[in-house]
Chain A
């Protein structure tokens, strides 16, 4: 009892001491406040590992779907780019054309800006190449005349399907040209599939982001509901909505970042599974092609997007629900 009385008598002397500390608030202090809030938010999430993990998993799976589509598409684009370098147009010339005339047509083509290279192949050359590559040399020697036409092999300077099409149409109109062959229809189809995949990825991303807003928003709403009494007390002693919202914003941010990281990991696992299946297929094609995973930049972007969506969803949800709580 006497201790208590002593304490009360000490109180007056302790009063003025901290009077000027209020004015020494700095931005460093705010940083400290944020660090402490972040730390306690994280601890709170770790206190309920099962439900935190569940939410993180839902976010990760949502992020995984568009991420997979994007990476499949970028793999396909890589394949396409490889093949598109080898787009060639074969022009078969009129048999009546002499070698010099043929060379002249070939040289004229080089002045076209849409043509990168044009190589003339004479009838004799064509026959020689044909017999060398097919092994029908004996059979060909039996022939009286050379059945093969002279040709010019043109490489277009642009590989875009539209530009190639336009070039093909123009080449068909040349009087010296008998037949134009473009063996890249399949390439165009693949390219169309690639852009479809890209579009699907974009649409799915928008849907997923909207879905994540609901998932994170609802998680935050429940967290606020659970801590309603606490929020009421904090409001009574002068806590602003910003102060109350801060830990919830960190919760949203952490969920988003963790979801992004888990999505990267899941993506890696899925690609490993895909690749083991793909290896069989590629062996049949004598290729060692494999799907490549996210590069570090894409992975960082995925995690960042997760974090940003989590934070923003928490921002929208928390201020709305916190403002509704009145002491």
Chain B
């Protein structure tokens, strides 16, 4: 589903965020990516979302070279990816319901079908009772979960999550992870950036460790050297 082939990313200011990264994530695989802040986790996700282009190397998503996608097709590319952002990226002048409905609205879903799906997604993250609230009235953790509901509402084939449990207490973190695992079980590929070491070790999925833009580990936490 996702292939990085010797990818480097150097920003205009000369900082090298990623250097010579290669890995592959298959269908129905859940992979963590971890590392200190500034190690290149966010850059990795941005490359997959076509928010940035690699300086060298190739990023393939579903067999398509992301850096070659025309501007017009970037939107279609992003529709197959559900992304959870560290800073939530919610629309503050729309209700929780409308925020989660946004990907469906973009795809032109019937309101009745959209309503059903939005409710199901909000239910999954435990926010069904907040659908009429506005994001500003929610706590950081609740906003985070609205972002997760929005990421999964369109049943994407890939889910990217940047620190999805950053604002959540352990119990909620476990629930969010349970939601992610359900998606994994039906064939969705997930890439989760997190620096929650205990969570990563407890769940024991394949984990990519980045250090100053270099991939230093690509294995299960319990086999780390």
Contact = CB atoms under 8 A, between A and B. Distances in A.
A and B: bona fide binding partners: yes
Interface of A: 4, 7-8, 10-12, 14-15, 17-18, 21-22, 25, 29-30, 32-33, 229-230, 232-241, 243, 323, 326-327
B78 A15 contact: no
Interface residues of B, number: 38
B124 A30 contact: no
B175 interface: yes
Given A8-B175, A8-B179, A230-B91, A30 B106 contact: no
A7 B85 CA distance: 24
Contacts of A326: 51
A238 B78 contact: yes
B107 interface: yes
A93 to B, nearest CB: 83
B116 A18 contact: yes
Contact of B90 (A233, A241, A323): A233
B219 to A, nearest CB: 29
B126 interface: yes
A17 B176 CA distance: 23
A33 B105 CA distance: 9
B182 A8 contact: yes
B113 A7 contact: no
B106 A239 contact: yes
A243 B124 contact: no
Interface of B: 49, 51, 71-72, 75-79, 81, 83, 85, 89-91, 93, 102-103, 106-110, 113, 116-117, 120, 123-124, 126, 128, 150, 155, 175, 178-179, 182, 186
A188 B167 CA distance: 85
B109 A21 contact: yes
Contacts of B179: 8, 11
Contacts of A239: 75, 102, 106
Given A8-B179, A18-B117, A230-B91, 9 more contacts: A8-B123, A8-B182, A11-B182, A21-B109, A233-B89, A237-B103, A238-B78, A240-B106, A327-B51
B121 to A, nearest CB: 9
Interface SS of B by simple majority: helix
A15 B186 contact: yes
Interface SS of A by simple majority: helix
Find the residue from A14, A30, A238 having the highest chain B CB count within 10 A.
A238
Nearest to B99: A233
Contact of A238 (B76, B90, B186): B76
A105 to B, nearest CB: 80
A190 to B, nearest CB: 58
A25 B128 contact: no
B75 A240 contact: yes
A18 B51 contact: no
B75 A235 contact: yes
Contact of A243 (B71, B106, B182): B106
A10 B106 contact: no
Contacts of B182: 8, 11-12
Nearest to B94: A230
Find the residue from A29, A32, A240 having the highest chain B CB count within 10 A.
A240
A238 B79 contact: yes
Given A8-B175, A327-B51, A237 B123 contact: no
A234 B93 CA distance: 13
A11 B102 contact: no
Contact of B75 (A15, A21, A230, A238): A238
A323 B71 CA distance: 9
Contacts of B75: 235, 238-241, 243
B90 A21 contact: no
Contacts of A236: 49, 51, 78, 83, 85, 89
Contacts of A235: 75, 78
A8 B116 contact: no
